[in-house]
Structure formats: structure tokens, C-alpha cells
Structure 1
Amino acid sequence: MAGNEVPSSSEVLDLTNEHLHSLEKVELNSQLRVLDLTANRLSSIDPRILSLTGLVSVNFRQNLLTDVSAWAEAACKGTLEDLEFRDNQLKEIPALPGFSKLRRLEFSYNEIHSIEALAALGPAPIQELYLAANKIPAITGISQLSQLTTLELGSNRIKSIENLESQALLKELWLGRNRISTVQGLSHMKSLRCISLQSNRLESMLGFEACTGLEELYLSHNGIWRIEGLGSLKNLKILDVSNNRISKVEGLESQTQLEDLWLNDNAIPSLDDAALASGLKPVTATLTVIYLEGNPAAQDPAYEERIRQLLPKLKQLDSKHNLS
């Protein structure tokens, strides 16, 4: 809420988990600013909500809505900052022109096939946009949303990282569980701090070189063969390349801040210098967490002892060993 202003009790209505099928027996104060209808059985939007002029936050999470196109005519266009339709049965995003203060918009866990309707928002100051777990095939309709700092598009049908030229302020980009085979379109993202491309179709981890502000890089469950392209990413604290095809630890020479390294379920054959030991030397002063289980190397009888020797600051080794 703007300026962290706290609304009075008369301006807040929380009906979370009331199992309501309608709001016909509910009184809606004309001064309402915050309305939470999470976990009910609503299949339509009460017209009285649309007439409220001072709403700042509205949450329809976990209901049975199939059509919210009426929201385009809501009277709170000049005040609404947070709108959530997560976990309903929506097939389309409504046109939302004129919502001049909207900062957070959530449509995850629906059945949406296109996000082109977001173009109707115009230059809204949206900072957080959540569209996970839909059926979206492409990134479209958001070129005017230049203030975005968080974009969640995981668990969709996206094949390409594209149409993000206006999103130079992005700090978090979530694209896990899609169909992406190549990392591209990120050369302007100097502000990016976290990116997830887990469970895609990558065979190479090249393409992040210009994202020099990256602190967290998640690439598990792909087909990556080699650790590479990290030379300019000197701010990385977390690197997850688990569940890939990596057979050698390398390419970490510039990682002077790396704390967490996930390498489990790869093809690292042994603990010797050629496969693992020499590759870890650049991060011995910083690494506190490493996962190597699921590699042939982890079957070595002296596995834990040797890893402790290699990484003196280690606090966590795999899921079974807490060294602190």
C-alpha cells in the first residue's frame, strides 16, 4: 500500500476460507480499501465490488471464476495497487485499461492461453507480474510494462525468451518448466539478480554473460554438458546445475562470492583433480553449501572426508550431512 499506510479496520474485509458461494448476505462498506476473498466458492464477481471507488487491494485467490471481463469497468482504476486472481478457472486475461496505480497483478494457476490482453493496461506502473502454471505459448503484450522488477512465467509452454526489451529493470525472471532450448534476449538485463530456467530444454548455459548483476542462477533438470559462460558473473552466490549431464567441475575461476553450489545428479566420475578437486579450488574460501549426491564421485569411501578437506568452510554437504 502506498507509503506503507495502514487502513483502518472498517476499510478492511477479510473473508478468507468462508466457503462462500456468493456475497449476497455480506455487507460491503463503501469505504473498503482491502478486500480478501481467498479460498471461497465464488463463480462470479459481485457488481457491488465493481462500484467501490477506493479499493487498493483485492484478492480472489482460490475461487471458481471463469470470466472476470467485468473488471475492466471497475470504479477503482485510480486507486487499485494489488489485484489477484490466482488459482481460478480463467481462460482469458481481461482488458484492464486505465488502472494507473496497479503495482502487482497475479493470474497464476489458471488456464490462460495468451497474455496479449495485457497490452490494454497501457503504461501501468506494474512491478510484479505473476502468470505461472497456465498454457501460455509466448511472451507478448508486456512491452509497455517497463517498471517490472519481477516476472513469473514458470510452468507454461514458452519456447523462446523474447519481447523483453523494455524490461531493463527486471530483478527476478522465473521461466522454469517451459520449452526453452536457448538462452537469448538477456543482453540488456544488467539489473537481473535471479533467473530460473529449471526444467527446460537447454544443452548449454551460455547466454547470461551480460547479466553481470546475477546473484542466483537456477538451471537444474536440463541437458547441460558443461559449466561455462560465468566469467563475467562475479556476483553469483547460488548456482544450481543439478540434474544435468556435467562430468567435470570447471569454469568457476571468477566466482569469488559463490556460497551454494548444486551439482547433484550429474555425471562427475570421481573426486580427483581432473574431474572435481581442481575445479573447486577457486571457491574454497566462500562455499558453504554443496550438493554432489547422485554422482559416481559420491560413492567414494572417503567422499565426505575429502570434500571437507577441499572446502574448509562447508556447512552443508548433500541433503544428509549438516557439517555446522
Structure 2
Amino acid sequence: MKNKEGWDGKLRVEPKAVITNPEALEDSDYSDPEAPPVEEIDADEDLLADEDVNVENQITRINFPPDIAESLTELDLYDNLISHVKGLDEFQNLTSLDLSFNKIKHIKNVEHLKKLTDIYFVQNKISRIEGLEGLDRLRNLELGANRIREIENLDTLSSLEELWLGKNKITEMKNLDALSNLRIISIQSNRLTNITGLSNLPNLEELYLSHNAITDLSGLETTTTLRVLDFSNNQLSHLEHLGTLKNLEELWASNNQLTSFDEVERELKDKEKLETVYFEGNPLQTNGPAVYRNKVRLALPQIKQIDASML
């Protein structure tokens, strides 16, 4: 599934290699008969001749010369072994900080970085949203793939536009009222069972809720600015509570328990801006795959795309 900009709505986590022959890890004499021949290297060829043997492969702490602090605006230490946010005292001109794929447990020592507009702490070991007080220029906060259970301590982030919390342990959407500039919320792959906390977000445009345990779409009535709504891979059996979403352009509803084309027509036919719908994996599609697309087209003549196929 992709939106019209080509984004699939999924958490931005790099794929990991899968070991298909784990026995090779235990047997030093193991060889794969299907493997291509090994390239031979002449004995006098030293592959490390130009390398510094003292260089470590991964960084374990932040330690930069203070004389570069004033000019540095973006710092990316993605995919290392950093466990503590330290060493940034002099870097007050930073606008972007990326410490994704590290071993950080606590967000600390960033409150003084008042010019930050983007923070990326994806795939760490963070269990609480904290230590961000006063970052009133922050526009984008990415905390996906951590251990967060509660949305909290965001009240001072008055400029926040994008909040990415996919693949955590969140059970309830709450404490969002102060984020009046929020345009995008992603809480995919969490533990939500219903939709709450959105009533005071007048600029919300994109909401990503896939891979939760949501059974009811009530709670969306006030989100009249929504353009993109994704609730794929939940437990919904009825399409309802969408009547006020007049600006909807894309609806991603795959892999639920939706059965009624009448509900599809009732809830969506009046959405003049609607261009894309995804219903694959619902009984709507699986019970009659041969007639499914035609039924969707009849119910929603304004759309341009059904699932991955353009009309």
C-alpha cells in the first residue's frame, strides 16, 4: 500500500538479514554446496594495508572537539552503540539530531538545544518520553521501535507537526491537546483498542493506526482536516463514524473484517476528494474477488485507485 507520494506508511526501520543456514554458526567446517565459488585472493595482497587498525567499527559515546560545535547544525550518529546522550553541551546550534539504532534508555541532556527542529531516536531502548521540555522549535519527533507505554511530557512542544511512535507498547492516545500544530501522527504496531485524544488537533492531516487491536472508529468525528487515514490490520467489522471527514483523500482499511459495500457507499460516496481506497484482505474482497473491484467502483465512482491498482 502506498499513498500518492509513494510512501507506504510503515515504520522506517531497515530490514535485517535472515540466516537461512544457522548451522554454519556452530560448525566451523560447514560449507554450503549451493554457494557460489569463493573468490581467491593472492597471498601477498593485504586488504588492511590502507586501514587504521585502531579504528573501531561503532561509536560508543559522543565525543567531538568543542571547536566544531558552533558551526554544526546536523548530527547523525545512526546505528552505533551509544547508550547515553552526553557531550552535546556546546552544540547549541543543532537543528537535527539523529541517534537512531543505538542503545539509549533515557532521553537526557537535550533541553538546552533550543534550535532543534528534528529528533530521531528510532529503535533504542527508551521507555519514557521525557527530557524534551522547552524545545519549542521542534517540528518532528521520531521515537518508533522503542519501549514506550504512554504518551506524555509533550505539552511544551508547541511547534510539533509530526509525531512518530510506531512499534511501541502504547495502549491509549492521550496528552495531545497542547499540540495544536500537529499534522501527522503515527502510532502503528502498538496496543490501541480504540481511538481517543484527537478532539483538539485542528490541523491533523494524516493518521496512521495500522497493526493495533482497534474495533471501532468512533473518536474520529472531530478530525475534519484528515486527508489520510490508515487503520489497516485491525479488528474492525463496520465502516462508520467517517461522515465528518469531508477532506479525506486516502483510506487504508486492508485486513480488517469489513463485509458491507452498503457501508462503504454510505460513509465514503460523498467524499469528493477521495482518490485512493484499500480494502484488500477484508471479506469485502475475499468473499468475492472476481466482483470486488467493480463493486467498489460502483459504490465510489470518484476514486482513482483501488488497492495497489490505478483505475
Pair 1:200-2:194 in alignment:
no
Matching residue of 1:180: 170
Deviation of the 1:287 alpha carbon: 1.3
Pair 1:287-2:281 in alignment:
no
- 2:147 and 2:51 map into 1 onto residues whose CA distance is 33
Report the CA distance shift for 1:81/1:252 in structure 2 as closer, same or farther (over 3 A): same
Cα deviation per residue 1:275-320 (whole Å; 9 max; x = unaligned)?
Answer: 433122332x22111110111111234221111112122221113x
Pair 1:264-2:258 in alignment:
no
Pair 1:146-2:110 in alignment:
no
Matching residue of 2:283: 296
Give the unaligned 5+ runs of structure 2.
1-49
Report the CA distance shift for 1:186/1:125 in structure 2 as closer, same or farther (over 3 A): same
CA contact (8 A) 1:195 1:217 kept: yes
Report the CA distance shift for 1:315/1:79 in structure 2 as closer, same or farther (over 3 A): same
Q: Following TM superposition, where does structure 1 have runs of at least 4 consecutive aligned residues deviating by more than 3 angstroms?
A: 20-24
CA contact (8 A) 1:158 1:179 kept: yes
Count of aligned pairs: 261
Report the CA distance shift for 1:229/1:109 in structure 2 as closer, same or farther (over 3 A): same
The letter for the 1-side match of 2:68 is C
Report the CA distance shift for 1:206/1:282 in structure 2 as closer, same or farther (over 3 A): farther
Percent identical across equivalent pairs? 37
Give the unaligned 5+ runs of structure 1.
1-19, 25-41, 44-62
How large is the RMSD of aligned CA atoms in angstroms?
Answer: 2.0
Higher relative contact order (CA 8 A, sep 6+): 2
Describe how 1:7-18 pairs up with structure 2 within 5 A. Answer: none
Matching residue of 1:110: 102
Matching residue of 2:80: 88
Deviation of the 1:21 alpha carbon: 5.5
- 1:22 and 1:67 map into 2 onto residues whose CA distance is 20
Pair 1:64-2:55 in alignment:
no
- 1:256 and 1:276 map into 2 onto residues whose CA distance is 15
Q: Secondary structure at the match of 1:116?
A: coil
CA contact (8 A) 1:104 1:128 kept: yes
Structure 1-normalised TM-score?
Answer: 0.76
Describe how 1:298-313 pairs up with structure 2 within 5 A. Answer: 298=285, 299-300=287-288, 301-313=290-302
CA contact (8 A) 2:94 2:113 kept: no
CA contact (8 A) 1:123 1:144 kept: no
Q: Secondary structure at the match of 1:200?
A: coil
- 2:213 and 2:51 map into 1 onto residues whose CA distance is 47
The letter for the 2-side match of 1:76 is I
- 1:75 and 1:139 map into 2 onto residues whose CA distance is 31
The letter for the 2-side match of 1:89 is L
Pair 1:127-2:117 in alignment:
yes
Q: Secondary structure at the match of 1:307?
A: helix
The letter for the 2-side match of 1:177 is K
Report the CA distance shift for 1:313/1:96 in structure 2 as closer, same or farther (over 3 A): same
CA contact (8 A) 2:238 2:260 kept: no
- 1:311 and 1:288 map into 2 onto residues whose CA distance is 9
- 1:311 and 1:78 map into 2 onto residues whose CA distance is 56
- 2:275 and 2:176 map into 1 onto residues whose CA distance is 29
Q: 2:68 aligns with which of 76, 90, 107?
A: 76
- 2:251 and 2:52 map into 1 onto residues whose CA distance is 50
Pair 1:216-2:206 in alignment:
yes
Pair 1:98-2:90 in alignment:
yes
